[in-house]
Structure 1
Amino acid sequence: MSDSGMKASWRKIIAPYEKSSVKRSIWQIINTLVPFFLLWYAAYWSLSISYWLTLIPCVLAAGMLVRAFIIFHDCCHGSFFPNQRVNEVVGTLIGILNFCPFYQWRYTHCVHHATSGNLDRHGVGDIWTVTVQEYLAMPRIKRLAYRLYRNPIVLFGLGPSFTFLIEYRFNRKGAKRKERLNMYFVNISIVLIIGALCWLIGWKAFLLIQGTMFLLSSIVGVWLFYVQHQFEGAYFEKGEQWNYVDAALKGSSFYRLPRILHWFTGNIGFHHIHHLSPRVPNYNLNRAHHENPLFQDVTPVTLLSSFRSLTFRIWDENRKKLMGFEYIKRFRMQQK
């Protein structure tokens, strides 16, 4: 079958992998949350010896938090369990561990899926990315804000903390009653859990343990999301030129990681397949990739090459590629 023929029949190709398994889903919850809570206790136990020793279980527990977030993510897509109500309940409960409200995040993330790579509709649930022309047309203060946003210290450090700890504590404009109530439930649950843990082990111990886990997992989570759409050969188009299949297969990376990291990250590195069909549960993504030439015909982003993404700041419509801020000066000179 030709490349165009395979792309045209992608729905038939992906359909067998869209079926979730209750048994596999339950087992994934067990092999994620049980180790997480055991590691949390190990971190508390080791704190009396040395904080440096505590870092070992904290790092591993942060990996489990990332894996738990992928379960939450699949529940938002309705792909983790066959029953939608179960997805909502499990997603809400696991979302509490990541300080993330289920219905609000589901809304913004679904918008992201529907508009990823579309330069006319970007800005909701994605990494703020503008074209060179859009940047030059901005007021000076907005240019400064964009440069600060794209600074790695803000993007991967201050940004995740602000988003998960502050932004996700408030309902978005236009949120419906069900979404608002879910936000209140998540916020109250977070306060009660934090209060109980601070009462049991002390607020200093709680901050050292949970703060370390949260900081590490949020940095890794944002980094994964960044690399999945900001990489060499990424896809961005305007209006009628934008295509859903190309946006998935070209605009979402195949992040080829060591097997153990694919496990901790819930196979989210197979992001090109996930964007083609969010209905595929994470435990089927690996098999879908290896069994179909359509999904293998992409240039992988490796762990080493992914760090080059740190130099990408802005989209050049003429070259059809992501560039660094230094390109703006060259662009201006070319326009003279």
Structure 2
Amino acid sequence: MGKVLLTQSQRRTSGTYKGRRSDDSDLPEFKPLPWTLQEIRASIPSELFLRDTRTSCLYLLRDLLMASVWWRIACYIDPLCTSSFTRETASLYGAEALRWLCWITYWWVQGLTFTGIWVVGHECGHGAFSSNKWVCDAVGFITHSFLWTPYFSWKISHHRHHISHASIERDEVYVPKTRSDLGIPKAHAEIDYEDYFGDTPIYTLYMLIRQQVLAFPAYLLFNVSGQKKYPKWTNHFDPNSILFNKQQRNLVIISNIGMLAMIWLVRQTIGAFGLASVVKYYGIPWLCVSHWFIMITYLHHTDPDVPHYRKGQWNFQRGAAATVDRDFLGWWGRFFLHDVAHYHVVHHFFPKMPWYNGEKATEHLKNFMGNHYCYSEKPVFRALWDNYNKCQFVEDEGDIVFYRDKHGRSTRRPAQ
């Protein structure tokens, strides 16, 4: 069973549904993080904050070499599986089954490898790849443009996400919907929550798949899941967007040039090799990147047991603590994804810390923070389904709030 601050046996549920009314008085209490950022930083050895460009480049080189190897191996899939020898040996249907199995294997490993390359670009955006800003921006711009992410534009909004995480008024992404956003009456009313959340598991699965495939492009293009107070049509490609100031205008334009270069490159590649080849070798692995990235970040920031803050209760370190480390895909996640999901809490506290020091730093952070450190060992696909159903909305009032589920129930309450 998963563990995030509380064991499952410690949790209780509360709410008002199907004519029954109750309050949250029987829920476990939550007390926010009491320490300053300086106290937390002092708990981690200073050498773990040092960035080594050579080490970072070796990780990137490893990923690029792996991507090249997987691509080269995939070039033999269709010739091998459609050869007369294979069809005579395994039968026509057996050869086709083998062909699909090989392509699925390629999409799995190449999708993870591409995601690892995207993670390296993400670290560049934080300045964790190198102490040299130009090196970070050059590597980040190339790797993110290759994977359809406007590097500088996303870097700007992602930085604001880090400095405002878990603030309902200021965070940039995964901002929770409120009771009034969904048109649900106040908690003291008699409510039949089935009227608001009575969808079928099939429909929930459809919505979840849609999120996994489209959420990141939708965020970049339409600010989906972003700050609700922003104007309509807010996006990451408009240099005049509210997301950016005047000094950042040229950086947004450079990011757009990177996207235009990719459009040109893909069109040239399709003309040379055909649409089917581009989809098989590049398109589907890129869709896997979008899926893994959204799944990782969603599970980092969305959980019934982590708080969201309003007004004077929020500060940087409390927001940084309101994220969850997870055992994401076991060794696959650790090797291919550079531990980005396993050690995300320390990353939110100190985003310039190199990712390859995350494990050691997390041990020190965990020892210092105790129960304020959030970790879940729940299988990630189970966590994705559970959290998608349990994290529906937060209350309109309260300086510290927790998600409520489809029955209006929460798992925790702030201490008085």
Q: TM-score range by the shorter chain?
A: 0.7 to 0.9
SS at match of 2:75: helix
Partners of 2:221 and 2:237 within 8 A in 1? no
Matched, 1:151 2:173: no
SS at match of 1:228: helix
- Going from structure 1 to structure 2, the CA distance change for 1:166 and 1:66 (only over 3 Å counts) comes to farther
The whole-number CA distance in structure 2 between the counterparts of 1:204 and 1:25 is: 34
Partner in structure 2 of residue 302 of structure 1? 377
Give, as a single letter, the amino acid of the residue that structure 1 aligns with 2:207: N
Matched, 1:24 2:49: no
Q: 2:42 aligns with which of 12, 17, 20?
A: 12
SS at match of 1:267: coil
SS at match of 2:403: strand
Matched, 1:277 2:356: no
For 1:182-227, what per-residue CA distance to the aligned partner results, in whole angstroms no more than 9, with x for missing partners? 1232123202321332233211111133221111221111010000
Partners of 1:43 and 1:54 within 8 A in 2? yes
- Going from structure 1 to structure 2, the CA distance change for 1:116 and 1:169 (only over 3 Å counts) comes to closer
Matched, 1:95 2:170: no
Q: 1:41 aligns with which of 72, 75, 100?
A: 72
Partner in structure 1 of residue 401 of structure 2? 320
- Counterparts in 2 of 1:52-63, with a 5 A limit? 52-63=101-112
SS at match of 1:135: coil
The whole-number CA distance in structure 1 between the counterparts of 2:210 and 2:103 is: 26
For 1:281-311, what per-residue CA distance to the aligned partner results, in whole angstroms no more than 9, with x for missing partners? 1111111112441256424112426232121
Deviation of the 1:20 alpha carbon: 0.8
Partner in structure 1 of residue 238 of structure 2? 171
Partners of 1:235 and 1:246 within 8 A in 2? no
- Counterparts in 2 of 1:56-205, with a 5 A limit? 56-122=105-171, 124=172, 126-136=173-183, 151-163=207-219, 170-172=237-239, 173=241, 175=244, 176-205=248-277
Tell me which protein shows more helix as a share of its residues.
Answer: 1
The whole-number CA distance in structure 2 between the counterparts of 1:105 and 1:271 is: 18
Partners of 1:43 and 1:58 within 8 A in 2? no
Between 23-32 and 167-176, the greater mean CA deviation after superposition: 167-176
SS at match of 1:278: coil
- The structure with the largest alpha-carbon Rg is 2
Give, as a single letter, the amino acid of the residue that structure 2 aligns with 1:313: Q
- Going from structure 1 to structure 2, the CA distance change for 1:213 and 1:326 (only over 3 Å counts) comes to same
Give, as a single letter, the amino acid of the residue that structure 2 aligns with 1:31: R
Partners of 1:99 and 1:164 within 8 A in 2? no
Deviation of the 1:228 alpha carbon: 0.3
- Going from structure 1 to structure 2, the CA distance change for 1:287 and 1:31 (only over 3 Å counts) comes to same
Comparing both chains, which one has the higher relative contact order based on Cα–Cα distances under 8 Å and sequence gaps of 6 or more? Answer: 2
Partners of 1:75 and 1:91 within 8 A in 2? yes
Deviation of the 1:254 alpha carbon: 1.3
Partners of 2:323 and 2:374 within 8 A in 1? no
SS at match of 2:183: helix
Partners of 2:36 and 2:317 within 8 A in 1? no
The whole-number CA distance in structure 2 between the counterparts of 1:128 and 1:51 is: 39
Partners of 2:154 and 2:236 within 8 A in 1? no
RMSD: 3.1
Give, as a single letter, the amino acid of the residue that structure 2 aligns with 1:151: M
SS at match of 1:314: coil
- Going from structure 1 to structure 2, the CA distance change for 1:326 and 1:111 (only over 3 Å counts) comes to same
Deviation of the 1:78 alpha carbon: 0.9
Unmatched runs of 5 consecutive residues or more in structure 1: 331-336
Partners of 2:304 and 2:404 within 8 A in 1? no
Partners of 1:18 and 1:79 within 8 A in 2? no
The whole-number CA distance in structure 1 between the counterparts of 2:162 and 2:59 is: 24
For 1:99-155, what per-residue CA distance to the aligned partner results, in whole angstroms no more than 9, with x for missing partners? 111110101101111111111223x2x1241222443389xxxx99xx99x931332
Partner in structure 2 of residue 334 of structure 1? none
The whole-number CA distance in structure 2 between the counterparts of 1:322 and 1:188 is: 40
For 1:47-71, what per-residue CA distance to the aligned partner results, in whole angstroms no more than 9, with x for missing partners? 4432442221221010011111111
Deviation of the 1:240 alpha carbon: 0.3
Deviation of the 1:156 alpha carbon: 1.3
Normalising by structure 2, we get a TM-score of 0.68
Partners of 1:79 and 1:280 within 8 A in 2? yes
The whole-number CA distance in structure 2 between the counterparts of 1:295 and 1:70 is: 26
Give, as a single letter, the amino acid of the residue that structure 2 aligns with 1:127: Y
- Going from structure 1 to structure 2, the CA distance change for 1:220 and 1:5 (only over 3 Å counts) comes to closer
Give, as a single letter, the amino acid of the residue that structure 2 aligns with 1:12: A
- Going from structure 1 to structure 2, the CA distance change for 1:237 and 1:35 (only over 3 Å counts) comes to same
SS at match of 1:20: coil
- Going from structure 1 to structure 2, the CA distance change for 1:128 and 1:245 (only over 3 Å counts) comes to closer
SS at match of 1:33: helix
SS at match of 2:301: coil
The whole-number CA distance in structure 2 between the counterparts of 1:244 and 1:5 is: 11
For 1:245-274, what per-residue CA distance to the aligned partner results, in whole angstroms no more than 9, with x for missing partners? 12212x111113423312222222211111
Partners of 1:228 and 1:253 within 8 A in 2? yes
- Counterparts in 2 of 1:286-301, with a 5 A limit? 286-292=359-365, 293-294=367-368, 297=371, 298-301=373-376
Partners of 2:324 and 2:345 within 8 A in 1? yes
